[in-house]
Amino acid sequence: MPELPEVLTISRDLKKEIKDKEITAVNTLRDYKLLNEDLFNRYVVGSVVEDVVNVAKLITIPLSSGYYIATHLNMTGRLLWNKDDGYSRVVLTFDGGDKLHFSSVRLFEYFEVWDQNKINSYKEKYGKEILDSSLKLSEFISAMKKSNTYIKNNLLNQKLVSGIGNIYANDGLYMSKIHPKRKSHSISDEEFSKLLENLKIIIKEGLAHRGSTIDRYTDLYGNPGSHQDYFRVYGKKGEKCVVCGNPISFEKIQGRGTYFCSTCQSLESSGAQKSLF
């Protein structure tokens, strides 16, 4: 957390606020020691923001200096516009006086200066993003079948296809009537086609709802998202499936909480059933 819809929500708002603006100062708060101030003073202060671009869940800010600000919000991070939530660690000041706060509670998050080589190296670790218009069905199927493990594991493997987080994997599998412990090689091309379609649908829904606020996520302006009000199965252990009425099951798969309907998402499913969604 946050996942792709949350990262895209923040990135798009941030781009509207800071593109073409000069960064005039960088300051640390609350005795924050994880910032390399020398790099920020050399390559950030005095630079102009050229864009805001995400690489999977990494937010990057290309600068006129040729360097980038790279920030990952991990579990407790926030980027906030003109707002200190009590956990701000770094503040960028822009011409005109506006301020961008990097907030972190547990300090697992980072806010760093990267060069082009480091950005390129990071990109090489990730597959095409799920919303990338160039991602073909054949590429998605090939990526998912590289390892004949549980389909849920492959969906969360960012090296195969990036941008599918735990929330959206749960709901995408439910919409597609695929059990999360189905082996990837047992899934038909027709099922994969439906799965890709449904994953794109729910991630776009998450974007429209400005993300899911479960723990600490807020948008750039400190406002919560509302997609948590639209979850299909995620977080609904024991509640009735809206299709068959049976209780939603829960188990941990590779340490990640997994929600599914054991009736609608049968392990023995052949993909021959007509979609209910």
Catalytic annotation on 256?
yes
pLDDT at residue 275 is higher than 70:
no
Cβ neighbours for 97, distance < 8 A, ≥ 6 positions apart: none
Q: By the 8 A CB rule, do 48 and 63 touch?
A: yes
- Mean pLDDT over 197-204 rounds to 97
**Predicted model pTM:** 0.91
Q: For residue 111, is it left (φ>0), alpha (ψ between -120 and 50) or beta?
A: beta
Query: What pLDDT, on a 0 to 100 scale, did the predictor assign at position 274?
Result: 39
Catalytic annotation on 57?
yes
What token pair was written down for 153? 């594991």
pLDDT at residue 14 is higher than 80:
yes
Query: What pLDDT, on a 0 to 100 scale, did the predictor assign at position 200?
Result: 97
In the chain, what percentage of residues exceed pLDDT 70?
Answer: 96
pLDDT at residue 272 is higher than 70:
no
Mean pLDDT of the chain: 94
Catalytic residue among 2, 5, 62, 180: 2
Query: What pLDDT, on a 0 to 100 scale, did the predictor assign at position 214?
Result: 86
- pLDDT grade, residue 269 (50/70/90)? low
What are 224-266's pLDDT values in tens digits?
999 999 999 999 999 999 999 999 999 999 889 999 999 999 8
Do β-strands 58-62 and 78-81 pair in parallel, antiparallel, or remain unpaired?
Answer: unpaired
The backbone torsions φ and ψ at residue 211, rounded to the nearest 5 degrees and listed phi first, read 90, 175
Catalytic residue among 5, 57, 194, 210: 57
Q: By the 8 A CB rule, do 95 and 49 touch?
A: no
pLDDT at residue 270 is higher than 70:
no
Q: By the 8 A CB rule, do 145 and 184 touch?
A: yes
Q: By the 8 A CB rule, do 5 and 207 touch?
A: yes
Catalytic residue among 42, 145, 183, 256: 256
Query: What pLDDT, on a 0 to 100 scale, did the predictor assign at position 1?
Result: 63
pLDDT at residue 276 is higher than 60:
no
Catalytic annotation on 224?
no
- Mean pLDDT over 167-180 rounds to 97
Query: Domains in the chain, ordered, with CATH?
Result: 4-123 (3.20.190.10), 137-260 (1.10.8.50)
Query: What pLDDT, on a 0 to 100 scale, did the predictor assign at position 268?
Result: 72
What are 100-147's pLDDT values in tens digits?
999 999 888 999 999 999 999 999 999 999 999 999 999 999 999 999
Catalytic residue among 3, 6, 129, 191: 3
Q: For residue 74, is it left (φ>0), alpha (ψ between -120 and 50) or beta?
A: left
Output the CA torsion 147→149→228→109 (10° steps).
Answer: -60
